[in-house]
Amino acid sequence: MSFVPKVLSKNWQLKISALAMAVLLWTVPRFDAQGSRVLDEVPVRVQLTDPNWALVGEPSPPEVSLTLSGPARELLAIGVDPPPVLIPMDEVTSGDTAVILRSSWFRGAGRDGVVVEDLRPGAVRVVLERIQNRMIPFALPMFGDLPPGQSLAGPAEIEPDVATVFGPASRFEGMDSIPLSILNLARVRDGETLSMVVDTAGLRGLHVLPLEATVTVPIEGTSTREFSDLPIRLPALETAPPLQARPAQVSVVLVGARSLVNGVDPAGLTVTIPPARATLAPGEETQVVLSVEGVPEFVEVRVTPDWVVLRRPVGQ
């Protein structure tokens, strides 16, 4: 056996410990030594405590570059996950403000001897809007089907029916309602009151009060009613000859909540064709789908046949 393997194998644990100690002794002084480092893409954040204003977007620019000095080990640690430059804003006087940055706002400043030597750019632009409050109605989205034999007898009753919404003016653009969580109609029972929370998706930057409302959905037993031989009302033309429909009469069936269907007056039902489809030249004909006026909301209407042949004869 050679001499070298004996040297390596003898007291090998002690040798490894000595090597580790040597590496440590070589490393520690280097980390304790003073150094400098440039950090790019350090985020800029705003700490806004003025309750009358809201921040719009991010500061511009949203990131800055810092030159730091201090112990090497601290600079290395800061570089792994740079803390932000945090701008305190306790009292706002203008909605568009240029803020001169201070080195003390860097959250890593003063950390075991870390000093901010330079900060670029030295200022950022901050845009804010005054907080407003508006009264906006709740809306209840629904899906699914009611239990068999039941129909909607009217719109959902929401209490309270409006919310007070606080936020910057720009967030209210295009907002005509505050949505509650989606209601599955299969859950609805006659006379039952449900508690529905506000769907906060899409409401970022806004505060809504209250955050829930009680909902009652009026339902009744389903009723069907048929009206036969209703004439089709044709639009009058400025010049002859007039339009003709084949057939000239149809049947209409209404399906819905009992009180709504039974309350329909046959004289109030009018079967029509879309006016845009009435632009026929003499001798032309086409198929058109019929529509029925005078049908209450939440009542389904069925027409037999659902389309007719519309014709304009040659002038007489």
pLDDT tens readout for residues 200-211: 988 988 999 999
Are 238 and 170 contained in the same domain? no
Let me know if residue 59 belongs to a domain: yes
Structural domain includes residue 273: yes
Closest among 290, 276, 113, 143 to 217, alpha carbons compared: 143
- Do 211 and 173 share a structural domain? yes
- Average the pLDDT over 1-10 and give the result: 50
**Confidence check: pLDDT of 99 > 50:** yes
Q: Which long-range contacts (CB under 8 A, 24 or more apart) does 94-100 make?
A: 95/53, 95/127, 95/128, 95/129, 95/130, 96/125, 96/126, 96/127, 96/128, 97/125, 97/126, 97/127, 97/128, 98/123, 98/124, 98/125, 98/126, 99/59, 99/123, 99/124, 99/125, 99/126
Q: Where are the beta strands (DSSP E) in 188-313?
A: 193-197, 207-209, 212-216, 219-233, 244-246, 249-257, 270-272, 285-289, 291-293, 300-304, 307-311
- Domain range holding 59? 36-130
Q: Is residue 83 part of a domain?
A: yes
How many distinct structural domains can be found in the chain? Answer: 4
Q: Are residues 40 and 28 in the same domain?
A: no
Q: What is the mean pLDDT of residues 61-80?
A: 90
> Is 244 found in the same domain as 163?
no
Indicate whether 40 and 125 sit together in one domain.
Answer: yes
Q: Across residues 169-191, what is the average pLDDT?
A: 91
pLDDT of residue 4: 47
Same domain? For 98 and 173 the reply is no
- CATH code: domain of residue 115: 2.170.120.30
262 and 195 share a domain?
Answer: no
Distance, CA of 17 to CA of 20 (rounded, Å)? 5
Domain-terminating residue out of 84, 100, 130:
130
pLDDT for 279: 83
In a domain, 19, yes or no: yes
The pLDDT of residue 3 is 46
Residue 253 lies in a domain: yes
pLDDT tens track for 238-269: 888 889 999 999 999 999 999 999 999 999 99
Check which CATH number belongs to the domain holding 162 and give it. Answer: 2.170.120
- Same domain, yes or no: 144 and 189: yes
Residue 8 lies in a domain: yes
| Residue 135 covered by a domain | no
Single residue among 217, 239, 268 that ends a domain in this structure: 217
Whether 316 is in a domain gets the answer: no
Co-location of 159 and 85 in the same domain: no
Of 166, 199, 217, the domain-final residue: 217
Question: Cβ distance 240 to 208 under 8 Å?
Answer: no
